Amino acid sequence: MSVEFTPVMVGGEAAVIWFGWDFDGDGEWDWQESDTTLPESFERALSVGAYPWVFAVSNSVGEYACITNGEELVVHPLTYYLRLDGGAIPPYDTEVKAATSFADIVGYAKGGGGIYTTSAAGAIVEACTIVANSCPAAYDGAGIYCGTVALECKNTLVYGNARLDESSSDVAGTLSAFEYCLAPELSGIGQNLAVDPMLVQSENGEWRLHKDSPCRNAGTPQAEAPDWMIGAVDFWGQPRITQRRVDIGAEELLPANGTLLILR
């Protein structure tokens, strides 16, 4: 699997004189450069496993910063193995490494079947539809799990996600991170909805909004929309904003035929 890392520097002095990435937490810099500008992103091929990556950077006035992320980047195997005489070696992806109990697998897999964030500040989830994901029965947030992280989640629909025991769990964690979103757990929190979004599954498996969906015009007001939305299109190539508010989710419903729009 190829994983993309995107570093961001903020502050009064962002002139980089050195940076280093340790992608697998082995104490060796896998990528480092001096007298350079910070690239927009890095790609790294990772096999199945959990990776405690480290990023460090220093600037032209002698300041140094280092971020260590303990095993929160997890590449899951397609199949987990369970045997009473297994080796109990994460990630339990072969018979030799098989877990010896379901608890081992649950503890490794964690929550957040759709999106799982904990210790990386600045994460953004916007204008997404997150449906039909799952997580282990002992965890929460099969759609989005937001831990102790400065996550910003806006205009996103999270619905129909569940634990493996089929109990509903769409979002969990720091719910104040959600704004102009829809999920059952967001009732009474900010400008969010906690109702049935009226999703319709097409013949090819795509989840689309019904024309009467409450997600229509329930997102960010056009005057507050981020710059990227102006002139942008949705997942299906339709204009991202067709009326005075964006729709919640990855789809923007078009006005019905014969609709008269009055702009003032």
Q: Cα(264)–Cα(246) distance, rounded to whole angstroms? A: 18
128, 105: one domain: no
145, 125: one domain: yes
How many CB atoms are closer than 10 A to CB 122?
Answer: 11
Q: Would you give the distance in Å from CA 136 to the centre of its chain?
A: 18
136, 244: one domain: yes
Number of separate domains in the chain: 3
Q: Would you give the distance in Å from CA 211 to the centre of its chain?
A: 27
What three-state secondary structure class fits 18?
Answer: strand
181, 151: one domain: yes
260 falls within a domain:
no
> What pLDDT, on a 0 to 100 scale, did the predictor assign at position 254?
86
218 falls within a domain:
yes
Q: Cα(76)–Cα(165) distance, rounded to whole angstroms? A: 20
Q: Cα(30)–Cα(22) distance, rounded to whole angstroms? A: 5
Residues whose CB falls within 8 Å of the CB of residue 195, separated by 6 or more in sequence, listed in order: 182, 214
**121 and 115 Cβ atoms separated by less than 8 Å:** no
132, 224: one domain: yes
Stated as kind and residue range, the H or E segment containing 199 is strand 199-201
Q: Cα(183)–Cα(166) distance, rounded to whole angstroms? A: 17
Q: Cα(207)–Cα(130) distance, rounded to whole angstroms? A: 10
**114 and 132 Cβ atoms separated by less than 8 Å:** no
Q: Cα(260)–Cα(264) distance, rounded to whole angstroms? A: 13
263 falls within a domain:
no
92, 59: one domain: no
151, 90: one domain: no
123, 239: one domain: yes
Classify the C-alpha dihedral 96-99-105-109 as positive or negative: negative
40, 138: one domain: no
pTM of the model: 0.59
Tokens representing residue 236 in the block: 């299906």
Tokens representing residue 221 in the block: 């007001």
102, 177: one domain: no
> What pLDDT, on a 0 to 100 scale, did the predictor assign at position 218?
96
> What pLDDT, on a 0 to 100 scale, did the predictor assign at position 3?
62
104, 170: one domain: no
**91 and 98 Cβ atoms separated by less than 8 Å:** no
Radius of gyration from C-alpha coordinates of the chain: 22
247 falls within a domain:
yes
Tokens representing residue 217 in the block: 């015009």
> What pLDDT, on a 0 to 100 scale, did the predictor assign at position 103?
58
Residue 49: CATH number of its domain:
2.60.40
For the chain, 264 residues long, give each residue's pLDDT as a single digit of tens.
556 666 666 666 667 788 887 877 778 887 787 766 666 666 767 777 777 778 888 887 778 888 776 555 677 777 778 888 889 888 888 889 888 876 566 566 666 677 877 665 667 889 999 998 887 777 788 889 887 666 789 999 999 998 878 888 899 988 988 999 999 999 999 999 999 999 998 777 788 999 999 999 999 998 888 888 888 889 888 998 888 899 999 999 987 665 555 555
> What pLDDT, on a 0 to 100 scale, did the predictor assign at position 209?
94
262 falls within a domain:
no
**55 and 39 Cβ atoms separated by less than 8 Å:** no
157 falls within a domain:
yes
Tokens representing residue 40 in the block: 């927009």
Residue 222 structural domain: 115-255
What three-state secondary structure class fits 64?
Answer: strand
